[in-house]
Structure 1
């Protein structure tokens, strides 16, 4: 069944206040509310959190999650350093740098929206509405005024006292019931709207306009139903009207058919009652399975014997300990890890979803909540239960910390992992790069992940910190390689490298330069502050930095350092686009505001001579990747890694038309229009982020964005 498309901007992303929380409600596509600093009193803090939650958008919440409050002393140091740089600049030059930052800030908003984009999982209301439309697994026919309505006994019995009593008097599969209602002049279309209301809990204006008097009369005859969630919970908890059962077995439970344990030759370890209509509505996997049984005639025997349809699940694929979590997500749109069955018989099941277990297996008897969420995500993918998969994505993001970051990055990059989680983890890495660079977590990062964030304009670290982190990572990688080459078979012996330790002077700069050959060019050397940094000078002396910063080359012209930060027209070959490092941005914005007050007569009298009004086409040429890491987006077509199989997905014409329509709508959004209006914005980069957001909302690979561009 095609997944319903939706506007990702309507999704409310909430991130949990702590990793101990284990319940995620994904009915509205959520990411739990962000962790906040406890700098204020508990009462004030609680009030502030409640007030902010009412106003937060998905983007604001994610930003709150990732951007933790930095220590004021550290922020002040960065502010002082950037002020020292621009202390000799003119007001026009400082304004040009501020405009560069503002363009990047607007682009970052669009970038984060694209990173957050995913197709919203259908809620139980939407799926039950589709169930009413397509009549899957219907077991009763209602006839009203000559119109036949195939319906589902369990849904109507749980929702409406009138139908509960009516259907109780007509047991059996396929009953055909002719209705004669007391309410006069009730049209067929109105009766259909009433049935849809029982399925969805919502009155659909496009079906009928129910007048107040008519609603009152219908309520008197049919009874007033409970909220839909209440009745679904009743069906889940009691198992009333169940016509199916989930049965979890394993190879060890198999017995001979003549053993008398069951007609299937299995001894069920766990059997949970459920409803075929609900399973069919929520999961294409279950719907296809039930339809195959119907076509094969198996369900005829079960109906004749008045036994529920047993849906047998192999515990080596879907562990039984997740059974109640699975049904809870099916009926109520929530992922509750507290429902995981614990005990000696419910531990890790050998071979469950092989690849996921191989990644998450740690040798412990009980996996962590993060590992359980990862395994449940794969189960949701296997069962085509999007509400479970997205709920697990939200939980994984809730458990994302500095310590779990390497695991989440590795898992998200795997074919069985979540691309959406991987994007959020990379965003977390960019935002938290400073504390990561100063911890041992840095050594656990893969080369590819480090290269990815170093290419970003939005990496939250000064360029000096970036250089130091790259050197630190490279030296650790070199030590690891030396230990792997250690001639001693036994480590920690007197002569072993591991035992003695390796001093920095023992490291080969040639081998280190080879290890960092792809990372060091991504460091924006011209933006290292202070420019006389000892770390930079030492890297140059060791031959790690092949090209010194521009102010060390040639004559001592004062404007060389300025030209490395702001655009200076066609003759400026030193310009490198600065990263949107927030302490620098805030300090420059404050500085320009001060200068505007002091020199009001100079404000906006003329365009800065450093800012050229270049057409967008030229910006596209200007912003191609450079050797010194100045690039934004690679616009070269078909530039894919050679070690990966290229799979081109071509949407059908209807999907492509819908995507183009969505693209045009997003381009008219306030955030996009604001980005376009800024003088230094690149329309090419803006359009790229919009297209990425569109294809991700339609659950298509990022490569499809190139089709939209063409």
Structure 2
């Protein structure tokens, strides 16, 4: 069942939690000097290749599988395969966010409602509203007819053989650059209006002309400055600003003069060029952000100083640009900033991005960064970044079904994180007289014996309640025993724990398999985590058994379970004052349709356990709600199951930043 621990005994480890000043000194003696004294073997013939850590992680699991039958192993693999399907549903939910309007769609809508140029057609009552500065740069014919700035009406002779619908569709194409009709009609109308250039090229022409011919000047002024003293300004078209940003539209609709002055606290001058470039092109060009220096009181700057290094300027500038985009109600720009932030996601920046996403309430970036943390947990947990992980992320990681770490690693990292958190509290309580002296905690370090067990247990309680002790390998690992001894974990029999209940199992203790939690967990418990090395090892063991007993094993493998469970949902509107019945019914239909579609793909109704079926429903619901920009608190979705009449406890990570 188990294997001996390969770790060193705690008696031989230094009991110091944080290094003292003496321990921080670098060792000047060569590491391999004693080895050269102890042997006559040529030094260059030694192999210093580090063993793969995954081998040590998998070894106890592989030894546990040695005594298993084919049926038990097959059940475990079915559990892992179900978790793989859930991971894909989870990834779809994390990638979901509301759709945004493009530049062309916003300009087209603004032209329909606030167009400053009317185009009529001879011998018809048909007319088209347009934005003068835009359409005159897209069409050479219209540019000649609308040369007079005061002209608000022009008349065109439509070509023969074209309908009003085709002309209207072509004008829509000039804005959106999307054409789904006959290409010959498009070429004919392009020649008629003189539209020979690409939209991207015309957009740059409009931006360039706006810098000299624009009807409004966008100015940035510091606190207390007069309008005339604005130190940064760009001339542009008011119709473009109004079409892109509801905030700017509300300011421009008040009928101000030819200047729109914004305070630098709202829009720093360094971001002005990049913002105007986006308004004209729908593109994020970080190279246009001028020398950006954040405020010295910035929280991100302070965290960077504490961690010992400054964050990358581009990343920090993008996070600031995101808040500017949200303030000006530029959803497309905000999503481009999110994509740029996530493109810089790595082991060094992960924790900083997590903290930023939690503080700013960015659920999309938080979900992506949290998944990266779980995928790279073993690597990040061995660095100083572990102690900067926010509590919300640490709790979500210990609860996750898909964290790529063994249960022992999760327990060890949780304890180290809790000890460091307690030391920070001790330093905060330390008298000022002792601070910065040789007797301070930061100088002399702290031993585990100095830590208050009750306080440490209180700090770790939200994390240790997510530790699945029945999946610790080997079962009597010294880290687990030490946690019991220190009172961090409580000894609870797996058979008495309500979260480890069995499905009406009436077996004597002798008949119960010691590893039954792995291949036959209860209906409403999480079960083993989806640790990829374990899954690959189980598949390898299955192939080994198939080679040994091909007939019997193959017959059992081909025996498919016919168990299918109904997928009946109960959807409740928890916020009837905020969510109308019409929207609620529309979202409910989308959830049911999506569940039926994903069931056809992953076979959700054939998932063997209620926990997994309910998890699938939750991930699908999360995706639909995020796509429609609806809070998860507004709608409650429950799976009604014939096997489990009780609702599922909150064992899934549904945290939203």
| In structure 2, C-alpha distance between the alignment counterparts of 1:589 and 1:278, rounded to whole Å | 59
1:382/1:360 Cα in 2 relative to 1: closer, same or farther (>3 Å)?
farther
1:88/1:450 Cα in 2 relative to 1: closer, same or farther (>3 Å)?
same
1:299-448 matches, cutoff 5 A: 309-342=258-291, 347-348=293-294, 368-414=313-359, 416-448=360-392
Q: Are 2:588 and 1:660 aligned?
A: yes
Q: 2:548 aligns with which of 598, 607, 626?
A: 598
| In structure 2, C-alpha distance between the alignment counterparts of 1:593 and 1:445, rounded to whole Å | 40
Displacement of 1:689 in angstroms is 1.0
Contact persistence 1:110–1:672 (CA under 8 A): no
1:197-596 matches, cutoff 5 A: 197-205=173-181, 210=182, 212=184, 214-239=185-210, 241-254=213-226, 265-293=227-255, 298=256, 309-342=258-291, 347-348=293-294, 368-414=313-359, 416-487=360-431, 489-547=433-491, 550=494, 557=510, 559-567=512-520, 577-596=527-546
| In structure 2, C-alpha distance between the alignment counterparts of 1:608 and 1:493, rounded to whole Å | 71
Displacement of 1:124 in angstroms is 1.7
Contact persistence 1:248–1:315 (CA under 8 A): yes
Offset from partner CA, 1:307-362 (integer Å, 9 cap, x none) = xx3222111211111011112222222222210122xxx644799xx988998899
Contact persistence 2:71–2:556 (CA under 8 A): no
1:227/1:662 Cα in 2 relative to 1: closer, same or farther (>3 Å)?
farther
1:488/1:651 Cα in 2 relative to 1: closer, same or farther (>3 Å)?
closer
Displacement of 1:163 in angstroms is 1.2
1:76-225 matches, cutoff 5 A: 76-132=55-111, 134-136=112-114, 138-144=115-121, 145-168=124-147, 170-172=148-150, 175-181=152-158, 183-205=159-181, 210=182, 212=184, 214-225=185-196
1:217/1:436 Cα in 2 relative to 1: closer, same or farther (>3 Å)?
closer
Contact persistence 1:412–1:422 (CA under 8 A): yes
Structure 2 SS opposite 1:251: coil
| In structure 2, C-alpha distance between the alignment counterparts of 1:709 and 1:552, rounded to whole Å | 27
Contact persistence 2:572–2:637 (CA under 8 A): no
Structure 1 SS opposite 2:446: coil
Partner residue, 2:23: none
- Scaled by the length of structure 2, the TM-score of the pair is 0.79
Offset from partner CA, 1:349-382 (integer Å, 9 cap, x none) = 799xx98899889999997222211111111111
Partner residue, 2:22: none
| In structure 1, C-alpha distance between the alignment counterparts of 2:558 and 2:487, rounded to whole Å | 38
Structure 2 SS opposite 1:474: helix
Structure 2 SS opposite 1:516: helix
1:483/1:361 Cα in 2 relative to 1: closer, same or farther (>3 Å)?
closer
Displacement of 1:143 in angstroms is 1.5
1:617/1:287 Cα in 2 relative to 1: closer, same or farther (>3 Å)?
closer
Structure 1 SS opposite 2:145: helix
Offset from partner CA, 1:439-471 (integer Å, 9 cap, x none) = 111111232321111111111100010111111
Contact persistence 2:571–2:588 (CA under 8 A): no
Unmatched segments (≥5 aa) in structure 2? 1-49, 498-507, 641-657
Contact persistence 2:273–2:289 (CA under 8 A): yes
Contact persistence 1:249–1:267 (CA under 8 A): yes
| In structure 2, C-alpha distance between the alignment counterparts of 1:87 and 1:649, rounded to whole Å | 59
Contact persistence 1:118–1:696 (CA under 8 A): yes
Contact persistence 2:566–2:605 (CA under 8 A): no
Count of residue pairs the alignment pairs up: 576
1:312/1:201 Cα in 2 relative to 1: closer, same or farther (>3 Å)?
same
| In structure 1, C-alpha distance between the alignment counterparts of 2:246 and 2:483, rounded to whole Å | 58
| In structure 1, C-alpha distance between the alignment counterparts of 2:196 and 2:240, rounded to whole Å | 18
Contact persistence 1:156–1:163 (CA under 8 A): yes
Offset from partner CA, 1:59-105 (integer Å, 9 cap, x none) = xxxxxxxxxxxx98222333332111111010100111111111111
Unmatched segments (≥5 aa) in structure 1? 1-70, 255-264, 303-308, 621-634, 639-645
Contact persistence 1:347–1:365 (CA under 8 A): no
Structure 1 SS opposite 2:233: strand
Partner residue, 1:37: none
| In structure 1, C-alpha distance between the alignment counterparts of 2:601 and 2:166, rounded to whole Å | 44
Q: Are 2:601 and 1:673 aligned?
A: yes
Structure 2 SS opposite 1:546: coil
Displacement of 1:420 in angstroms is 1.0
Tell which deviates more after alignment, 463-472 or 682-691.
Answer: 682-691
Contact persistence 1:139–1:151 (CA under 8 A): yes
Partner residue, 1:40: none
| In structure 2, C-alpha distance between the alignment counterparts of 1:72 and 1:167, rounded to whole Å | 75
Structure 1 SS opposite 2:218: strand
Structure 1 SS opposite 2:119: strand
Displacement of 1:107 in angstroms is 0.8
| In structure 1, C-alpha distance between the alignment counterparts of 2:521 and 2:530, rounded to whole Å | 19
